[in-house]
Amino acid sequence: MIAVLCLWLAMVANVQADWPGTLAPLTFITEEYPPYNYIDNQQLTGESIDLLEAIFAATKTPLSRHDVRYYPWVRGYELALSQPNTVLFSTTRTPARESNFHWVGPIAQDRVVLLAHHDAPVTIDSLPQAIDQGLSVAVIREDIGAQALLEAGYPENLLVPAIDNRSALSMLTRGRVDLWAYSEDVAAWIAESEGYPKDDLIPIHTLSESSLYFAINQATDQRLVTLMQQALDRVLAERPQR
């Protein structure tokens, strides 16, 4: 283990020597979370991908979107927690996650909700009502929707894990669950891409309204974190105001 760590440190030192003042030592991981990051025509694209490439340019980092690794959320999240110099995006920053990562951002705003299907409408005024009705919820492990429900005391036996967002959508549309906990905008994008009408998914309760960030493993050199934040601030400042 010590030999592996020494080898890793040597590799990082070499990269930093070759490309001082860049983000080259960092490994970037993302998932399907449109419109922020997703694959289109076999290429990573999206608002966060474009922003990251602008950060690479601002820091003269010899990387591009082709160097970003694309993993299912759970795997990416676990790697970002365990591997130094790993950056996961787009990640919702929450109090429960705060101490787990360094944070660079914000890069966008996101609203996570409970979604019902148009053909099986559900009405609730609060999470306790959903619990009292025994409503089952599709969730993705370690996703903000799942974490928000667990933190609010939602019974684990009512949470149904899905492999990914398209699997969760299928669960909801086929009546295997009553609700789906996910980003309202991303869920709508996924549903439309699968051929469902815009109004098929109905948001019935807001779980959180938060900002999306680049989440960086805690063991990462703070100088790299600072460099990335400064580059992001510069890129955003130079962008035309919408």
Examine the domain organization and report whether 9 and 102 are in the same domain.
yes
Examine the domain organization and report whether 124 and 51 are in the same domain.
no
User: What pLDDT score was predicted for residue 20?
Assistant: 65
Of 91, 104, 18, the closest CA to residue 60 belongs to 18
User: What pLDDT score was predicted for residue 188?
Assistant: 96
Examine the domain organization and report whether 82 and 130 are in the same domain.
no
Examine the domain organization and report whether 98 and 124 are in the same domain.
no
User: What pLDDT score was predicted for residue 240?
Assistant: 76
User: What pLDDT score was predicted for residue 15?
Assistant: 41
User: What pLDDT score was predicted for residue 239?
Assistant: 83
Examine the domain organization and report whether 34 and 54 are in the same domain.
yes
User: What pLDDT score was predicted for residue 198?
Assistant: 81
pTM: 0.86
Examine the domain organization and report whether 205 and 121 are in the same domain.
yes
Examine the domain organization and report whether 71 and 125 are in the same domain.
no
Examine the domain organization and report whether 9 and 101 are in the same domain.
yes
Examine the domain organization and report whether 117 and 205 are in the same domain.
yes
The number of distinct structural domains making up the chain is 2
Compute CA distances 29 → 67, 205, 214, 216, whole Å.
9, 30, 10, 10
Write out the H or E segment, with its range, that includes residue 44: strand 43-45
Compute CA distances 58 → 75, 89, 223, whole Å.
29, 19, 16
CA 52 centroid distance within chain: 14
User: What pLDDT score was predicted for residue 137?
Assistant: 98
Examine the domain organization and report whether 98 and 21 are in the same domain.
yes
Question: Residue 143 is part of which domain span?
Answer: 110-210
Of 106, 100, 47, the closest CA to residue 229 belongs to 106
DSSP state of 63: -
CATH code at 157? 3.40.190.10
User: What pLDDT score was predicted for residue 21?
Assistant: 83
Q: What does DSSP say about strands 137-139 and 159-161: parallel, antiparallel, or unpaired?
A: parallel
Examine the domain organization and report whether 98 and 119 are in the same domain.
no
User: What pLDDT score was predicted for residue 182?
Assistant: 98
DSSP 166-229: HHHHHHHHTTSSSEEEEEHHHHHHHHHHTT--GGGEEEEEEEEEEEEEEEEETTS-HHHHHHHH
User: What pLDDT score was predicted for residue 121?
Assistant: 87
- Tens of each residue's pLDDT in the chain, 242 residues: 444 333 333 334 344 445 568 999 999 999 999 999 999 999 999 999 999 999 999 999 999 999 999 999 999 999 999 999 999 999 999 999 999 999 999 999 999 999 999 999 899 999 999 999 999 999 999 999 999 999 999 999 999 999 999 999 999 999 999 999 999 999 999 999 999 998 899 999 999 999 999 999 999 999 999 999 999 999 999 987 65
**35: preceding bond cis by omega (within 30 degrees):** yes
Examine the domain organization and report whether 155 and 98 are in the same domain.
no
